[in-house]
Amino acid sequence: MKKIAILIAITSFFIFASGEAQAQCKQQRVYQCARKGGNAIYLRDFNTKLRAVRSERSINGTKWPVVLNRGTRYRFILCSPSGHSNDVKLTLFDSKHPEMRPWNSTEKSGRNMFDFICKRSGVYYVSIRFKQGKGRRKTCAVGILSFVGKNQ
């Protein structure tokens, strides 16, 4: 009977410990990342878990549609765990400018954030993916969309 109780206690510890680690990766990182926006107003977050890349040709990551309004300045911020900050990129594109030729990306800006002044209202897409040749280990990443202000 004691052995069964110990086995149940150990099993439940691992179940709850693994669930807590995943929750921290999302919610705690969203909060920390949103604070990096300065005076920008938080609008939306993009959470993703990235699997380890097995071959150079595999596409890994997630894509979300967002509606952006003309004449508005938006800030996009990318946060990933330490050790993966140079492995992941956030990209903004639309149907006329595909992901290979995006409007902007954190890789293009050379930082973990960029501002975008929307010149045409419509549906845009945000993707979070590993950079080319990166992604040997799985990780998670958070993207933040913030409102900076109207562009006069």
User: Which CATH number goes with the domain that contains 22?
Assistant: 2.60.120.380
Is the Cβ–Cβ distance between 52 and 64 less than 8 Å?
no
Per the DSSP assignment, residues forming a β-bridge with 85 are none
Lowest mean pLDDT among 29-38, 44-53, 54-63, 122-131: 54-63
Give the Cα separation of 112 and 143 in Å (integer). Answer: 10
Phi, psi values for residue 149, rounded to 5°: 160, 175
Domain range for 61 is: 2-150
Asked if residue 46 lies in contact with residue 62, where contact means CB atoms within 8 angstroms, the answer is yes
Residue 131: what are its φ and ψ, rounded to 5°? -70, 160
- Spatial distance between the Cα atoms of 130 and 134, rounded to a whole number of angstroms: 6
State both tokens at 21: 């680690």
What local confidence, expressed as pLDDT, does residue 69 receive? Answer: 94
Q: Using the predicted structure, report yes or no on whether residue 21 has a pLDDT greater than 50.
A: no
With beta carbons less than 8 A apart as the criterion, state whether 49 and 137 touch: no
Residue 19 banded pLDDT, cuts 50, 70, 90: very low
Higher pLDDT among residues 22 and 61, named by residue: 61
pTM over 0.75: no
Number of domains in the chain: 1
What pLDDT is stored for residue 152 in this prediction? 58
